[in-house]
Amino acid sequence: MEKFEQKFFSMALRLGRMENVNCILYVTENLSVIKRNSVKRLKDKLIIASTQTEKLNALTMKGFKCVNLPAFVFSRQELVKIAMASAITSGFLKNGYKVLCIISRKATELVDTVILRNVGEGIDENVSYEFILKNTNIPVQLMEIMIELAVQIGFQGYEGMNIGTLFVVGDTENVLNKSKQIVLNPFYGYKEEERNIYNPEFRQTIRAFTMLDGAFIVREDGVVITAGRYLETSEPGIQVPLGLGSRHSAAASITKETKSIAIVVSETSGAVRIFKDGQMHLEIQSKNRLI
């Protein structure tokens, strides 16, 4: 099996060397492979995607193009989707690029799947965080943190229960004007630095309040203004994909009426969906929930 895997990996690299392949996206936890000369020779084409942040930082210092992945269990298709969105945001991929995706989900593997993708074809391949955030004041870093938090909530739930929730980020004044408080604001009286999404400890606290009805309202600088907010939206003609409920409809409506971004965690499946301008722009499905 090991010999076959070596040959499979060599053949994948050979495909990546072809002139009409613009980039090789290597989604892997086996970063020791990068030391191989056969991989180093493809450095100009190579984009490395992994959850191992420290090792990626070291590779970046050596001139490799790298993107971070959330440390959760995704299907191969979802891994590629997230990696491509990050790579587009980082400027490594452009519209029209032909990308050979080599995937290895185990630290002991070289490769288990090879996929060819064209940037700009399909619903997700042309989506970057910068594209989603266009005409907003929301930083890319905040967007990445919010999505990772949402994925964590969808994957792990809270105290053994599946939970769904909604984050509305940006254009805070208009969002507040189109919503009302349905429970006491749990963050009232706390200093802004104590209720900021950039604070890792506070992100853990957030999970305890996802049991509340209503939405979290998050300012562009990461400060959570309130939770338990009912969105009073009345935008006509809003349509969401069949099977999605009131939380998704509210997300679509509020982003149509304001310049906000809405991030929805599905209670049913744990999927994370991102809305802007009344439309769903990105969907991330975790492979298996912990609960």
Mean of all residue pLDDT scores within the chain: 86
Q: Does 107 have pLDDT greater than 70?
A: no
> pLDDT by residue (tens digit) across 145-167?
898 899 888 888 777 788 899 99
Distant-in-sequence, close-in-space partners of 34: CB < 8 Å, separation ≥ 6: 40, 48, 59, 64
pLDDT greater than 60 at residue 280: yes
192-226 tens-digit pLDDT: 989 999 988 898 889 889 888 899 999 999 999 99
- Domain parsing of the chain, residue ranges: 2-126, 130-284
Q: Which long-range contacts (C-beta less than 8 Å, at least 24 apart) are formed by 37-42? A: 38/10, 38/13, 39/13, 42/13, 42/16, 42/17
pLDDT at 73 over 70: no
CATH top-level class for 130-284? Answer: alpha beta
Listed ranges 42-46, 86-90, 123-127; the one with the highest mean pLDDT: 42-46
pLDDT for 225: 96
Whether this model's pTM surpasses 0.85: no
**CATH code, residues 2-126:** 3.40.1380.20
Residue labelled with tokens 């060599």:
10
